[in-house]
Amino acid sequence: MKQKNLLIVDDNDKYARLLEEHFAPMGYTCVRAVTGLDGDEKLAAHPPLHFDVIVTDITMESQAAGIFMLGRIKPSQFNGTLVVASTGFDVFGVMPLSRLFFRRYGVHYLVPKTTVIKEEPLFYPMALFSKPTRNFVELTAEN
């Protein structure tokens, strides 16, 4: 079985630890980056197909840190699953707008951090009317 590699980009130690604890039992080896720049450097230090999944926060050391990271991922030929885990997604009306906004970055799932803190991450696929799921499935540009 191929080793699965996951990059977590989040400046909050608690959320990063909870995400790692969620993904490790699924066979992922997690690498942590604390800033968008750190995440970009870790991504660049490996071959394009090294990471199967990238989970990034949006608001880190600056308001645009996660957006910077997402903008750098797309041209890097990354073909894995992109997940944005951030606060505020569970506010009424925000999820549909976020789905439209993050679609341009190739994001596959949005995860409200309120579900991460409860240790039951809820994955919202990018299709506007798709239902959230607790079962994470890797996706690529092909599916």
The domains of the chain, with CATH numbers, are 4-125 (3.40.50.2300)
pLDDT on residue 24 = 95
pTM: 0.91
What is the chain's alpha carbon radius of gyration, rounded to the nearest angstrom? Answer: 14
Is residue 98 scored above 80 in pLDDT? Answer: yes
pLDDT on residue 141 = 60
Per residue in 28-71, pLDDT (tens digit) is: 999 999 888 888 889 889 887 899 999 999 887 665 577 888 88
Could you count the other beta carbons within 10 Å of the beta carbon of residue 52? 20
Mean pLDDT score of the chain: 88
pLDDT on residue 142 = 57
Is residue 114 scored above 80 in pLDDT? Answer: yes
pLDDT on residue 61 = 66
Assign 3-class secondary structure to 58-123.
CCCCCCCHHHHHHHHHHHHCCCCEEEEEECCCCCCCHHHHHHHHHHCCCCCEEEEHHHHHCCCCCE
